[in-house]
Amino acid sequence: MVEWKLVETQPHSLAKRLRFDRAELGGALGDLGVFIPLLVGMVNRCGLQFGPALFCAGLMNLVSGLIFGIPIPVQPMKAIAAVAIGEGLTHQQVLTAGIATGAVILVLTLTGLIDWLNRAIPQSVVRGLQLGLGLKLLIKGVEMITDAQVLIGWDSIGLGILCTLVVLMLYGSTRIPAALLVFAIGLIALVASQPALLSQTRLGMTWTMPVLSDWSAWRIGVVHAALPQIPLTTLNSVIAVCALSRDLFPNRPAAPRRVAISVALMNLVCCPLGGMPVCHGSGGLAAQYRFGARTGGSIVMLGVAKMGLALLLGGSLLLWLEHYPQSVLGVLLLFSGVELALVCRDQSSRIAFFVMIITAGVSAAANMAVGFLAGWAVAILLVQGVMRIAPPADAPNDPSS
């Protein structure tokens, strides 16, 4: 009996940590709805080098898959990407923001503050952050589908509806990965609508080391991009992703300290080389799990593919990603948001549900940092008895509320 328990819960089994099959490959594609638009946006708007950024992201995928053994994602840092694309930051400012964020996360980890935050933040607040992010992904996915503004075409509302039906019909299927089939439909639509891309594709990649000695680039990068990113990274890329990993992989969850060190080192190593600022996000983990990923093998395959494409095609691949149907990426994003929101259904008590909804609502309307502060404040007030969430007079007594 004891021997069976040891074998069943052993998290270091190679078969449990790394598996390479169709389901894992399909799951690896689940997060492309976030990855591709942000990468392309920073390349076109900020001058980030596409080849090095893609290669470094792939390398971090490979390392993360081997270390964690679960499909933990490597995503662009959303706050930095949003500021960079919106304000037109230079690539030096983007890279310095990533370095600064990585340094702060490393300090938080070495001082033990990450572990303290993980213990101190109520689960209802974490669930609210996940629900808020899930709703944001869902809404963004719908917007990407409807932004096509045409009903029929190679990038259209009709194509988005078709891919949505494909995902629904293959829900739960292990024989035919939905994300793999949807991505293939997008490629067919891309080649059909842009046949000239085949002749424009060139082999090879250029890689120029960035110069980061300009103090003004550091000042703008830190103030404009790193400061709003740091709380988002701490909450979503460390605390929330670890909480989600405990739900999805109870026998092999990701530890907050290891995840935080991973986020810090990814940016401290890759950003000076020209790689974009990246993190681990709960939305990406939910997306990859939703489309079939169960081990680190999915992330290893994705990393090898990114590195290979970066070395083989370099900047030419950017043309393909720029014209890839947004309606197809929107479908992947939509179902990623649904999967992330579904993990919040365990908040059954009245108080916990109230805190979760407040956190999610403020996070979706403003940002995750403000939502976190609002949710935590409400949770503290409820615990101290300052606020009361009373059931209706005619409602039965519920000891959990």
Lowest mean pLDDT among 138-147, 163-172, 188-197, 366-375: 366-375
Lowest mean pLDDT among 102-111, 333-342, 388-397: 388-397
- Distance from first CA to last CA of the chain, Å, rounded? 39
The top-scoring range by mean pLDDT among 44-48, 64-68, 172-176, 387-391 is 64-68
Q: What share of the chain is helix, strand, coil (3-state, %, to 5)?
A: 70, 0, 25
- Across-strand partners of 279? 75
**Does the pLDDT of residue 290 top 70, yes or no?**
yes
Q: Label the pairing between strands 278-279 and 75-76.
A: antiparallel
Q: What tokens were used for 116?
A: 């303290």
The H-or-E segment that residue 76 falls in is strand 75-76
Distance CA 388, CA 303 (A): 49
Cβ neighbors of 329 (< 8 A, separation 6 or more) are 32, 33, 36, 37, 144, 186
Distance CA 271, CA 100 (A): 10
Distance CA 297, CA 343 (A): 23
**Per-residue pLDDT reduced to its tens digit, 201-233:** 888 888 999 999 999 999 999 988 898 788 878
Distance CA 95, CA 116 (A): 29
**Does the pLDDT of residue 126 top 70, yes or no?**
yes
Residues 383, 385, 391, 395, CA torsion sign: positive
335 within 8 A of 167, measured Cβ to Cβ: yes
**Does the pLDDT of residue 9 top 70, yes or no?**
no
**Does the pLDDT of residue 244 top 90, yes or no?**
yes
Q: Please provide the average confidence, as pLDDT, over all residues in the chain.
A: 87
pTM over cut 0.85: no
Residue 386 is predicted with a pLDDT of 58
Distance CA 313, CA 324 (A): 16
371 within 8 A of 129, measured Cβ to Cβ: yes
Q: Give the model's confidence band at 390: pLDDT under 50 very low, under 70 low, under 90 confident, else very high.
A: low
Residue 389 is predicted with a pLDDT of 60
**Does the pLDDT of residue 270 top 90, yes or no?**
yes
**Does the pLDDT of residue 17 top 90, yes or no?**
no
